[in-house]
């Protein structure tokens, strides 16, 4: 199997795992907001293959989610892509610049912060439409509901990604799906 085929196969497998994590790993957290661990898998794909892979995975997994289990249709799709991409693409981009534990940690922390800021803005703009309520009502939920939800979600995603990166890359290397040493060092 050539390198490009291995990469596409691995990204496809990671998409399937991220979708499964969405379907079977949903946990209600705050009010109507549910956590799912798909961003961990999308970020792992980005650490291995780069930020464009994270973006592609975020779009594909969110599309599959919209077509099957989402209750929010196209707006839910848009919000999922924005949330996943702001976290995973930011983390993967910064890790691509510095492939060490420090780069991964900085990438994950920046991705976490970026996701929080971006989602507060997009929840303010889009949530009134799919919630069927006023922008003022959503604005009152930003600090007591959306902020803590995104803090918890980003923290879980960052922490679990750091724990899983080495074993996942070791497994991918062992199965010959990646050939270069892409493990976090130092």
Tokens matching residue 27: 């946990």
pLDDT at 177: 79
pLDDT at 74: 95
pLDDT at 15: 98
CA gap 11, 21 in Å, rounded: 15
Report residues of the chain scoring pLDDT below 70: 180-186
What backbone phi and psi angles, to 5 degrees, belong to 181?
Answer: -80, 105
pLDDT at 173: 86
Domains of the chain are 3-24+37-174 (1.10.1760.20)
Per-residue CA distances from 167 to 68, 125, 151, 161 (Å):
30, 39, 26, 10
pLDDT at 2: 85
Nearest to 51 by CA among 18, 14, 91: 91
Residues 24-36 have pLDDT tens digits of 999 999 888 999 9
pLDDT at 127: 92
């Amino acid at each position: 199997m050539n390198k490009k085929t291995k990469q596409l196969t691995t990204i496809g497998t990671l998409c399937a795992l991220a979708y499964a994590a969405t379907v079977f790993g949903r946990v209600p957290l705050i009010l109507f907001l549910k956590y799912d661990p798909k961003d961990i898998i999308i970020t792992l794909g980005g650490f291995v293959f780069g930020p464009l892979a994270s973006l592609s995975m975020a779009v594909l997994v969110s599309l599959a989610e919209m077509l099957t289990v989402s209750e929010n249709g196209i707006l839910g799709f848009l919000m999922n892509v924005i949330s996943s991409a702001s976290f995973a693409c930011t983390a993967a981009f910064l890790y691509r610049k510095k492939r060490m534990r420090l780069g991964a940690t900085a990438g994950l922390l920046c991705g976490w912060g970026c996701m929080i800021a971006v989602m507060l803005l997009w929840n303010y703009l889009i949530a009134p439409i799919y919630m069927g309520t006023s922008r003022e009502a959503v604005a009152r939920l930003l600090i007591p509901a959306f902020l803590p939800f995104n803090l918890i979600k980003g923290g879980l995603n960052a922490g679990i990604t750091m724990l899983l990166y080495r074993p996942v890359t070791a497994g991918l290397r062992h199965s010959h799906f990646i050939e270069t040493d892409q493990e976090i060092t130092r």
